[in-house]
Amino acid sequence: MLDIEAIRADFPILDRVLPNGKNLVYFDNAATSQKPKCVINAMSKFYENYNSNAHRANHTLADEASSALEDARMKISNFFGANPENMIYTSGATEAINLVSYGWAKYNLEKGDVIVITEMEHHADIVPWQELSKEKGVEVRYVPINNETFTLDMEAFEIALEGAALVCVTHTSNVLGIRNPIEKIIKMSKKVGSKVLIDCAQGAPHEKIDFLNLGADFLAISAHKMAGPTGIGCLLTSTERIEEMGPFMTGGSMIKKVTTDGSTYKEGNAMFETGTPRIAEAIGWGAAVNWLEQFNMEDIHSHIHQIAAFAGNEMQKIPGIKIFGDPSNKDSSGAVSFLHETIQSQDLALLLDEGGYAVRTGHHCAQPLMDALGVPSTNRASFWIYNTQEEVEGFIEHLKYICERFS
Amino acid sequence: MSPLWPSHLDDIVEEFRDCFDSMERYELLFEYAKKNPNPLHETEWNEGNQILGCQSRAHVVCSKDDEGLFILRAGADAQIVQGLMSITAIAVNGLSPEEVCKLTPVYVEEMGLKSALSPNRANGFLNMFNRVIAEAKILSET
């Protein structure tokens, strides 16, 4: 059992009072989670005590910074069931997916090769493949969703798989909260000889991601949705795939030798980490992983699911509210997308904000999914470890009040 | 014209100031959304008159009447933006384009709707307001 009050005490921002005098109720966790004190302190400690560039100098501070960067890599890769040499620091899941596109697919796919993606992907897992298609002539196939169940059409997926070279699927939809059957997707993809990329940006805050057990070729992860800082994430990939990759971004750190005649590059993950590393962010992410490790991820998911299922159930009782997704499904994340039939989503978000409730509004960087759902945008309440049943009850009351007064 | 807003807006600003709380204020704004003196109907919305940087759909068309006085026609799918544009239309219609150029959105702040003015908010009223001023500048030169 989680001690939610003790958990909340780790997050100073949850005591925030907004300019209108309302207490903050933060339900925008699928966009970014809040950060516990230990993460904030770890980053401050770095800047206060041993700020220095990593892997570049021979002084004490540089040694401490380099060690901290690599210690964090060790912690984070272990957390995800991977070896540190199979982890490449990126700015987040978006850069991780771009790294697969420009660092692997560009070097290994040819004109006519097939990339299978889905309608429920975040733009970060759509646009890089569209760009690659323009550049290399690869074919991009989109697997539709079933509009009644909001799940992937697995029959269509099976058909799309024919001749696939790469399958790119989100672990969990950032809009619908639906968790895809990624184990099955990986198995089916491997059976036809395709490589697999799983976008774990939404999945990692909700369940234990185990790279080696999953058997995907690439996992893209963001730190900031799982208590870590913004600006950092990683790509987890196998040694075999790393050996097939070529440079994506070039510059300092990733080179062996640079002459006026040309350059040679380091091997392994070092080839893909150019420029000054995100040292403070890596340290912060390491602290976030340490913090998360005190809990069982299944307990975290169970708590979030309970709240999301309650929220979805109560919201459905409010006249005019329509839910997109299935919050009652035990595998769903804490994201509950909804719309009111007459109150426009931006208006609804502002009115919720007046009550202190922070929810996301818009297309959620998933416009093809919005098209499939037949709506331009949704409101989305997304819950995480520190949210409480009482907060949701207050939210439901405020939502009811808005719907009665403004529709 | 007063230094802050046209005097014929005084009663509206006062009406909003008298609201009990922000929700009552927004309720009043929803009512003004239905009172746009020169609405721009959805059939007239196009890319040319669309306000960029606004997540909700918002459009404005500015022109001059036979006497050279300003006419603002606006439409938005979000009622909060629509309400603010209705009030802005009440403010600017009948002024000279030169007078419109001098207008600032301070009346929105005075109405207790300061949050609508944040450029970081996705509701886009400020983008619409800036477009009106930019068009007034063009109309004042023609």
Which of A205, A147, A207, A149 is closest to A182 using CA atoms?
A207
Q: Indicate the residue type of A314.
A: E
Q: Which domain holds residue A286?
A: 41-292
A168: annotated active-site residue: no
Which of B66, B130, B58 is closest to B100 using CA atoms?
B130
Q: Which of B27, B57, B81 sits opposite A405 (nearest CB)?
A: B27
Q: Are residues A24 and A50 located together in one domain of the fold?
A: no
Q: Which residue of B has its CA nearest to A398?
A: B23
- Name the one residue in this structure whose structure tokens are 């300003």: B70
Residue of B26, B81, B85 to mutate, interface with A, max A Cβ within 10 Å? B26
Q: Are residues A394 and A247 located together in one domain of the fold?
A: no
In a domain, A394, yes or no: yes
Which of A37, A14, A35, A42 is closest to A26 using CA atoms?
A14
CA angle A186, A191, A192 (to 5 degrees): 105
Q: Are residues A195 and A307 located together in one domain of the fold?
A: no
A–B: how many Cβ contacts below 8 A?
Answer: 43
Give dist(CA A36, CA A390) in Å, integer: 21
Q: Which of A344, A354, A401 sits opposite B22 (nearest CB)?
A: A354
Question: Domain tally for chain A?
Answer: 2
A346–B55 CB contact, under 8 Å: yes
In a domain, A35, yes or no: no
Q: Are residues A274 and A327 located together in one domain of the fold?
A: no
Its sign, for the CA torsion A239, A244, A250, A251, is: positive
Q: Give chain B's contact residues with A (Cβ, < 8 Å).
A: 22-23, 26-27, 30, 55-57, 77-81, 115-116, 121-123
Q: Which residue of B has its CA nearest to A363?
A: B55
Which of B60, B131, B49, B63 is closest to B97 using CA atoms?
B63
Give dist(CA B132, CA A138) in Å, integer: 45
In a domain, A171, yes or no: yes
Give dist(CA A291, CA A293) in Å, integer: 5
Per-residue DSSP letters for A173-222? -TTT-PBP-HHHHHHHHHHTT-EEEEE-TTTTTTS---HHHH--SEEEEE
Q: Are residues A250 and A325 located together in one domain of the fold?
A: no
- The verdict on domain B7-140 having CATH code 3.40.50.1100 is no
Q: Are residues A336 and A382 located together in one domain of the fold?
A: yes
What CATH number should be reported for the domain holding residue A269? Answer: 3.40.640.10
User: Of A258, A292, A326, which one is at a domain's C-terminal end?
Assistant: A292
Confidence of residue B16 (pLDDT cuts 50, 70, 90): very high
Q: Which residues contact A269 (CB under 8 A, 6 or more apart)?
A: A85, A86, A87, A88, A242
pTM reported for the whole predicted model: 0.93
Strands A262-265 and A139-143: unpaired
Q: Are residues A12 and A67 located together in one domain of the fold?
A: no
Give dist(CA A226, CA A34) in Å, integer: 8
Q: Are residues A149 and A255 located together in one domain of the fold?
A: yes
Radius of gyration of chain B (CA): 14
Angstrom CA distances, A394 to A257, A272, A337, A399, B102, stand at: 61, 47, 18, 9, 44
Residue B122, pLDDT above cutoff 70: no
Q: Which residue has the higher pLDDT, B125 or A17?
A: A17
Report the phi/psi class of residue A264: left, alpha or beta, with left for phi > 0 and alpha for psi in -120 to 50: beta
Per-residue DSSP letters for B32-59? HHTT-SSB--GGG--GGGBPTT-SS-EE
What pLDDT digit, counting tens, does each position of A184-209 carry?
999 999 999 999 999 999 999 999 99
What pLDDT digit, counting tens, does each position of B53-74 carry?
656 788 999 999 999 999 999 9
- Name the one residue in this structure whose structure tokens are 């003015």: B117
Residue B1, pLDDT above cutoff 60: no
What pLDDT digit, counting tens, does each position of A340-358 carry?
999 999 999 999 999 999 9
Q: Which of A343, A346, A405 sits opposite B23 (nearest CB)?
A: A405
Confirm if A285 and A232 have CB atoms less than 8 A apart.
yes
What CATH number should be reported for the domain holding residue A349? Answer: 3.90.1150.10
A331 alpha carbon, distance to own chain's centre: 16
Q: Which residues contact B67 (CB under 8 A, 6 or more apart)?
A: none
Per-residue DSSP letters for A308-367? HHHHHHHHHTSTTEEEES-TTSTT--SEEEEEESSS-HHHHHHHHHHTTEE-EEE-TT-H
Confidence of residue B142 (pLDDT cuts 50, 70, 90): confident
Q: Which residues contact B111 (CB under 8 A, 6 or more apart)?
A: B12, B13, B16, B17, B25, B87
User: Of A257, A292, A327, which one is at a domain's C-terminal end?
Assistant: A292
In a domain, A36, yes or no: no
Q: Are residues A269 and A358 located together in one domain of the fold?
A: no
pLDDT value of residue B120:
63
A346–B81 CB contact, under 8 Å: yes
User: Of A246, A275, A292, which one is at a domain's C-terminal end?
Assistant: A292
What pLDDT digit, counting tens, does each position of B89-119 carry?
999 999 999 999 999 999 999 998 877 666 6
Residue ranges, chain A, pLDDT below 50: none
Beta-bridge partner residues of A336: A381
Q: Which burial class, exposed, middle or buried, applies to B43 when counting CB atoms under 10 A from its CB (0-12, 13-18, 19+)?
A: exposed
Give dist(CA A42, CA A49) in Å, integer: 10
In degrees and rounded to multiples of 5, residue B41 shows phi and psi of: -70, 155
Give dist(CA A359, CA B9) in Å, integer: 33
Q: Where are the domains of chain B?
A: 7-140
Residue of B19, B51, B54, B56 to mutate, interface with A, max A Cβ within 10 Å? B56
Q: Are residues A75 and A198 located together in one domain of the fold?
A: yes
Strands A195-199 and B70-76: unpaired
